[in-house]
Amino acid sequence: MAVSISVDYEGGLRCRATHGPSQNQFITDAPVDNHGKGESFSPTDLVATALASCMATVIGIKAQQKGYDIAGMKVSVEKHMSEDSPRRIVRLPITIEIPLPEDHPDRKLLEATALGCPVHHSVHPDIDKPVTFVWSGK
C-alpha cells in the first residue's frame, strides 16, 4: 500500500509536509548548524523521530495483542551527525522505557519486536543504532 506525502518548499529553508490520507501537516526547518533557523524538526530529526515512534508503535501493537498495558512507555533517541563530508546521520542511540517488570515473561518478545520495526530495518546499516531497554514496572 502506497501513501502519498507532498512537500511544499515555503522559502527560508522551511518546508510544509502534507500527509495525503489524513491531510495532517507539519513544518520542517533546516537546523541552525546547517544554515537554518532550527525552529522545527529538521529532515534528519524526522529520521530519528521515525525510528523512535516506529519502535514504540510496534511494541504497542504487540502489547495490545497480548493484553498488556504499557501506557506511559517512553522512547528517546539522540541524533548524531557526521563531522566529515558528506553530512549524514552516523548514530541514533535509543532508550526504551517499558512500564513492565524486568522479569516480565514476554520481555524478549517485546525487545525483539522493537528491533524488528520497519524503520529499524530501513535505516542504513552503517548508522549505529544501539538500543537500551529499561524495564520500569513493578
What is the predicted pLDDT for the residue at 2? 94
What lies within 8 Å, CB to CB, of 86 at 6+ separation is none
Average pLDDT of adjacent 10-residue blocks, the chain of 138 residues: 95 96 96 92 97 98 96 97 95 98 96 98 97 92
What is the predicted pLDDT for the residue at 74? 98
Q: Would you give the distance in Å from CA 43 to the centre of its chain?
A: 12
The CATH number of the domain covering residues in 42-135: 3.30.300.20
Grid cell at residue 46: 524526522
Domain boundaries in the chain?
1-41, 42-135
DSSP string, 99-115: SS-TT-TTHHHHHHHHH
What is the predicted pLDDT for the residue at 138? 75
CA distance 119 to 116: 8
Grid cell at residue 22: 489524513
What is the predicted pLDDT for the residue at 120? 97
What is the predicted pLDDT for the residue at 137? 77
Using the structure block, give the residue that is written with the C-alpha cell 558528506.
86
What is the predicted pLDDT for the residue at 1? 84
